[in-house]
Amino acid sequence: MSIVDRSVPSYLKGYEGLYAKDPRQAALAWFADARYGLFMHYGLYSVLGRGEWVMFREAIPVAEYETLVRQFTAERFDADFITDLALESEMRYITVTSRHHDSFCLFDTQASEYNSVQSAAQRDLIAELADQCQRKGLGLFLYYSYALDWRHPYFYPRQFSQIARPDYGHPEPRYLWERDEDFAGYIEFVHTQVRELLTQYGPLAGIWFDPIMAYYARSDLFPIDETYAMIRELQPQTLIAFKQGANGDEDFASPERHGHSLADRVRELHGPGAAEVARRAWEMNEHRHNEICDTLQPRAWGYQEADDSQHHTPDSVLEMLGSALRRNCNLLLNTGPLPDGSIHPVDVGTLHEVGRRIRQDGWPTG
């Protein structure tokens, strides 16, 4: 969809009248009815099978981690299968990591050579998913690591946030930050990529930013209002999420795992200073239809081989889904695709069974 295309996106079928009046309100109404979505964390970290934070936790040097692009084949990443799985599971949308904190992108970008098109896969995985979602009437949300990048030379250093960079114990030659003004290079990179996502892949249901804790550490460096305005201009129906909230203009909040109130959750995780930064977001979002994200693995979001025998069962997924719905939230349920891009067979079975039970028994409420 170009920025002048005003046709109704396929996932908004049934909301045409409201879309003609206000695309954003149509999308919000659709989201409130959607109930259930599929989250996918897939990237270079999947090759190692030790979770999406493996570069940070194991302090893998940038140059060493980059060699994983030669192993990233994605030979069994099948957008047709994934979208059918979502539909058969009674899900209405898919959220996928277009770029995670390691900076590797699953899309064709002119801002970086570090992407799936220039990896061993030689494929634009976001384009493939976008095509299938449009064909089948599924909403597509693109996760984007707005507030963290362990590879970009001008992201800020550990002195501001311990998660900003891996703890190498020595200078990393790729990191060039010297002063706050250097951060403009990172913002230019981010805005280029967000614009690409909004102009290359048709109508998007949403942009899903992360991680909020790194944003809170230096919120003064991020032109959040400008970023959101660009999204609203390019695709007015595209919803915006930034975890618990940044400036209050998010369309919904999406805290991880727990069903605490949003205000309590941010204080618990980030302290009173961060809670004050997000105060306006809480006031807006606590009265909206929100989302809780959780994962089929017990801990990691990207594939973690050590968790293979501990994935959630259909019973526990239905409990999570019921808990979210009772809190006026959707459930965004994550699977970490295997290194080859296929969905873990245990998760496939679980999702199919949950979908079958929903069709048989209705949505969980108790």
Q: How far apart are CA 285 and CA 264, in angstroms?
A: 13
Q: Report pLDDT for 26.
A: 98
Q: Which domains does the chain possess?
A: 10-361 (3.20.20.80)
Which two structure tokens, joined as six digits, stand for 202?
């048709």
Which two structure tokens, joined as six digits, stand for 178?
């010297």
Contact by Cβ (8 Å): 82, 102: no
Q: Report pLDDT for 257.
A: 79
Token look-up 């990443």 returns: 77
Residue type for 1, please?
A: M
Q: How far apart are CA 181 and CA 301, in angstroms?
A: 33
Q: Report pLDDT for 247.
A: 87
Q: Report pLDDT for 365.
A: 83
Q: Report pLDDT for 264.
A: 57
Q: Report pLDDT for 260.
A: 47
Helix 79-88 crosses helix 345-361 at what angle (to 10 degrees)? 30
Per-residue pLDDT of the chain (366 residues; tens, 9 = 90+): 334 346 899 999 999 999 999 999 999 999 999 999 999 999 999 999 999 999 999 999 999 999 999 999 999 999 999 999 999 999 999 999 999 999 999 999 999 999 999 999 999 999 999 999 999 999 999 999 999 999 999 999 999 999 999 999 999 999 999 999 999 999 999 999 999 999 999 999 999 999 988 998 999 999 999 999 999 999 999 999 998 888 889 999 888 876 444 555 555 555 655 556 555 555 555 667 899 999 999 989 999 999 999 999 999 999 999 999 998 899 999 999 999 999 999 999 999 999 999 999 999 985
Contact by Cβ (8 Å): 2, 199: yes
DSSP string over 130-155 = HHHHHHHT-EEEEEEETT--SS-TTS
Contact by Cβ (8 Å): 270, 264: no
Dihedral sign from CA coordinates of 75, 81, 83, 85: negative
